[in-house]
Structure 1
Amino acid sequence: MTISDTRARRPIITVLVVCQSSIGLIFGGIGLFLPLIRTDLGLTFTQAGTLAAASNLTYALMQVPSGYLADRFTPRRLFMIGLFGMNLLAVLFAVLDSYPLLLIDQALAGFFRALVFTPGMLLMTAQFPPGRRATAMGLYVVGGFSSNILLSAVGPLLVGPLGWRLLFALFAGFGLLSLGLYRFLAGPASGKPTSSTVRFRELPRLIRKRIVQLTGVIQFTRLAVAQGFTFWLPTYLVVDRGQSLATAGLVAAVASAISAPVNYLGGYLSDRINRPLLVIGGSLTVLTAGLALLTYVPGMLGVLAVVALISLAIQVYFGPLFALPLQVLGDRNAGLISGFGNFCANLGSFAFVYALGAVKDATGSFRAGYLSLAALCLLALLATRLIRPLLRPSPQPPA
């Protein structure tokens, strides 16, 4: 595939990003409106954290099966089923008022969200030449950040007159429209992929590979930090820093506005200079410093500076990290390898989204939670250093 082929596929690339945006609205909306949801339903901080944790747990458990099915069957079919289920559950979330039912709803949402992520990433990378893999993976998640910018900027203004329930129904409607647009642009479905020789029993052999283990440690850290920081940021600003929801939403919007372009640029830079470990290690170093400082800096100006610093690095290494094991092991089991990596990532998300809420309940502060994320980044830096001897040169991207 050439660069000109990629340009011809821009409508499909764009709609894949839009579909990812619809998922970002639903998942991001829970974090942004959590103070209101918690008050309306009478939830503790721990219970509020379990709404995200339940989704993250089933999402994590489904990563490897989703990756395997994407290798075995067509990613397109899984992608469309996942989008439909996720948006249907968003409608139900808008009408339920029982904590146990909301918990079940979010657990099922994690199941369907898993059918979107790895298959969608494979659909995106298929639109790019092999040398642009990290660029494609970075671009894929831009949709989630872009929708967070819009949500964080406009959501607090709309939630007053409309309420959080109606907003979730509107998010679901947008997602279903995006699904219909993808179905129209993608055209008729193709047959079963030729890589039907992929077997689930190959997973233990892959897990024993050192590159898979070490990138799994970094993946665990990546989403533990990304979700732990992003999910609780509005609540931290409202409860610990005394800011209004509108201010918290504005800060979250600025954070997403910073993260969205650097996410893509991180993948692009990694492909251009062919030094993924430099991008990963630099990002983790910045995150360690930012998370250690967040709860200590005085005043909102200091908080804004640290939030901006964290946002610069929080997902910039997404593309290079997913591309690393494929660079070493090849593409044959791309879905299975990527699924395992995202399984590790979502274990981290599940553990730390819950832990930060539990720590807040136990100590009255988010400080210990954010410091634990900084310590986790140090562990990931060690894993990054141990990967260096395992890499082999990857093909240079076409000019």
Structure 2
Amino acid sequence: MTAQAKAKWLRFLVLVLGGGTIYKLANLKDAFYVPMQEYMGLTHTEIGTLLSANAIIATALFVVGGFLADRFDTRKLIPLGLIGTGALGLYLATFPGYSQLLIVFSLFAICADCIYWPALLKAIRNLGDDNEQGRMFGFLEGGRGVVDTLVAFSALGVFVAMGSGEAGLKSAILFYSAIDIGAGLLTLFLLKETKKGAASTETIGLAGLLEAVRVPGIWLVSLNVFMVYIVYCGLTYFIPYLKDMYHLPVALVGAYGIINQYFLKVLGGPAGGFMADKALKSPSRYLKWAFLALLPLMAVILTIPKGESFIFAGMAATLSFALIIFTMRGVFWAPMSEVGIPSRITGSAFGIGCLIGYAPGMFAYVIYGAILDHFPGEQGYTYVFSLMSVLAVIGFMVSSLLHRAVQKRADSLPGEAVPQA
């Protein structure tokens, strides 16, 4: 491996470190959904509202974040987002009231989604050429999964060690905060010595945003991300589903949540990148068929008998569904290259893409949570999971349109070809 390649992968690993830590606090529900209800006094709807408040601010500011990523040095924006998130976590550990929680979760969005995320996506995009985009983003998702899993299981260990009660939840939050601050400082130090490339030194600003808006393909990519993400939001409810329908113990609920939301990234991200780049030769083509593969798995989830004797079948089916979602999340930004987004306006393009693509976070959790609160028990879960299936069908149609647009572009460019099916 050449010195240039080593430097490239070192930068990649540093970026993965931050990417795997910054969302732990805003997504505290992944491993601690039930403790949040018990010790912070939150209902399904209130947790959903906190997540929606976070997503509303994030969505409103994604384009601003893309502008910042093109306008300022990403090596400064990335550590700033991490350290700011960790500082907010220190306050979250005091268990403030619900009104204060709404403010905290909104500020999480500013640090993570506006300042940090578009800058990270731009940095990753600029690390690889057009033929590596599926793998680069797949390895990003997989690498984040490794960090996610290690950090989340460590936090769960802290929670158990402190008695699995209120003190345990506060200690876990403080642990996440310390990790964020530490990762921010480490990232600031390690990225300080890297050389700026041409892509990072060129200041684009508002002109880049206007140029990105005029690229037709970006809207299909963004809508495709929207459909993947709205189904992804439903994965959260596999956690209380197993507890309510299969009587999974609280400690194991936390472990399942970590596997469901984090560890599957380790497998799904690289697997999606490999299948998109090597097997199907097109990220958009892979996404189309992955949406279709979700439907029989959801049918299995809905028909498995409920009760403790079927707990492992329930876990296997829900984890299989989640794994496909994570293969899709690993590559859903890769079509940015397929539709011809110039690297110089990557930050602006991702800002627009995030604005649309992550929009489900504003309302999906509230809708899913409200359904469960209004229809307690198996009926509510049946409604939520059936809705996810309908959305997967719509996602298949959107991805089909995206792949067709990629084919048309490839046909107009000499020497390029995209698989037709």
The normalised TM-score by structure 2 is 0.85
C-alpha distance in structure 1 between counterparts of 2:330 and 2:275, whole Å: 10
C-alpha distance in structure 1 between counterparts of 2:152 and 2:297, whole Å: 21
Is residue 297 of structure 1 aligned with residue 304 of structure 2?
Answer: yes
C-alpha distance in structure 2 between counterparts of 1:242 and 1:200, whole Å: 55
SS state at 1:26 partner = coil
CA apart distance, 1:155: 4.3
Give the letter for the 1:301 counterpart: F
C-alpha distance in structure 1 between counterparts of 2:212 and 2:124, whole Å: 23
Q: Which residue of 2 aligns with 1:88?
A: 87
CA contact (8 A) 2:63 2:348 kept: yes
CA apart distance, 1:325: 3.0
Q: Which residue of 1 aligns with 2:165?
A: none
SS state at 1:294 partner = helix
SS state at 1:243 partner = coil
Alpha-carbon spacing, 1:8–1:76, altered in 2? closer, same or farther (3 Å): closer
Which stretch shifts more, 65-74 or 259-268?
259-268
C-alpha distance in structure 2 between counterparts of 1:107 and 1:307, whole Å: 30
Q: Which 5+ residue runs of structure 1 have no aligned equivalent?
A: none
C-alpha distance in structure 1 between counterparts of 2:186 and 2:154, whole Å: 24
SS state at 1:95 partner = coil
Deviations 1:215-245 (CA, angstroms, capped at 9, x unpaired): 222111222222331x333222223432112
Q: How many residues get paired? A: 393
Alpha-carbon spacing, 1:321–1:45, altered in 2? closer, same or farther (3 Å): closer
Q: Which 5+ residue runs of structure 2 have no aligned equivalent?
A: 163-167, 417-421
Match among 151, 174, 179 for residue 179 of structure 2: 174
CA apart distance, 1:68: 1.7
Alpha-carbon spacing, 1:320–1:287, altered in 2? closer, same or farther (3 Å): same
CA contact (8 A) 1:60 1:347 kept: yes
CA apart distance, 1:293: 3.8
Q: Which residue of 2 aligns with 1:284?
A: 291
CA apart distance, 1:357: 0.8
CA contact (8 A) 1:142 1:260 kept: yes
Give the letter for the 2:282 counterpart: R
Alpha-carbon spacing, 1:168–1:301, altered in 2? closer, same or farther (3 Å): same
Give the letter for the 2:350 counterpart: S
CA apart distance, 1:112: 0.9
CA RMSD of aligned residues (A): 2.6
SS state at 2:25 partner = helix
CA apart distance, 1:24: 4.0
Q: Which residue of 1 aligns with 2:419?
A: none
Alpha-carbon spacing, 1:153–1:175, altered in 2? closer, same or farther (3 Å): closer
Is residue 218 of structure 1 aligned with residue 229 of structure 2?
Answer: no
Q: Which residue of 1 aligns with 2:356?
A: 344
Match among 368, 376, 387 for residue 402 of structure 2: 387
CA apart distance, 1:208: 5.8
Give the letter for the 1:313 counterpart: I
Q: Which residue of 1 aligns with 2:268?
A: 262
Match among 230, 238, 241 for residue 236 of structure 1: 241
CA apart distance, 1:270: 2.2
Alpha-carbon spacing, 1:344–1:160, altered in 2? closer, same or farther (3 Å): same
SS state at 1:127 partner = coil
Q: Which residue of 1 aligns with 2:66?
A: 67
Alpha-carbon spacing, 1:225–1:30, altered in 2? closer, same or farther (3 Å): same
Alpha-carbon spacing, 1:156–1:193, altered in 2? closer, same or farther (3 Å): closer
Alpha-carbon spacing, 1:355–1:240, altered in 2? closer, same or farther (3 Å): farther
C-alpha distance in structure 2 between counterparts of 1:61 and 1:291, whole Å: 32
Deviations 1:256-302 (CA, angstroms, capped at 9, x unpaired): 43332221232233233522233112221122333344343222232
C-alpha distance in structure 1 between counterparts of 2:401 and 2:129, whole Å: 29
Q: Which residue of 1 aligns with 2:318?
A: 307
SS state at 2:332 partner = helix
C-alpha distance in structure 1 between counterparts of 2:205 and 2:248, whole Å: 52
Alpha-carbon spacing, 1:351–1:249, altered in 2? closer, same or farther (3 Å): same
Alpha-carbon spacing, 1:161–1:234, altered in 2? closer, same or farther (3 Å): same
Deviations 1:98-136 (CA, angstroms, capped at 9, x unpaired): 111011100110111112112112222333334212221
C-alpha distance in structure 1 between counterparts of 2:237 and 2:155, whole Å: 16
Which stretch shifts more, 249-258 or 37-46?
249-258
Q: Which residue of 2 aligns with 1:250?
A: 255
Alpha-carbon spacing, 1:159–1:194, altered in 2? closer, same or farther (3 Å): closer
SS state at 1:43 partner = coil
SS state at 1:22 partner = coil
Alpha-carbon spacing, 1:102–1:59, altered in 2? closer, same or farther (3 Å): same
Alpha-carbon spacing, 1:218–1:199, altered in 2? closer, same or farther (3 Å): same
CA apart distance, 1:66: 0.6
SS state at 1:387 partner = helix
Which stretch shifts more, 176-185 or 138-147?
138-147
C-alpha distance in structure 2 between counterparts of 1:154 and 1:241, whole Å: 26
Q: Report the identity percentage.
A: 19
CA contact (8 A) 2:142 2:268 kept: no
Give the letter for the 2:217 counterpart: I
Which stretch shifts more, 2-11 or 24-33?
2-11
CA contact (8 A) 2:53 2:362 kept: yes
Alignment of 1:1-399 (within 5 A): 5-114=4-113, 115-150=115-150, 153-162=153-162, 163-188=168-193, 193-199=200-206, 202-203=209-210, 206-207=212-213, 209-229=215-235, 231-255=236-260, 256-273=262-279, 274-298=281-305, 299-331=310-342, 332-364=344-376, 365-391=380-406, 392-393=409-410
C-alpha distance in structure 2 between counterparts of 1:34 and 1:368, whole Å: 20
CA contact (8 A) 1:63 1:339 kept: yes
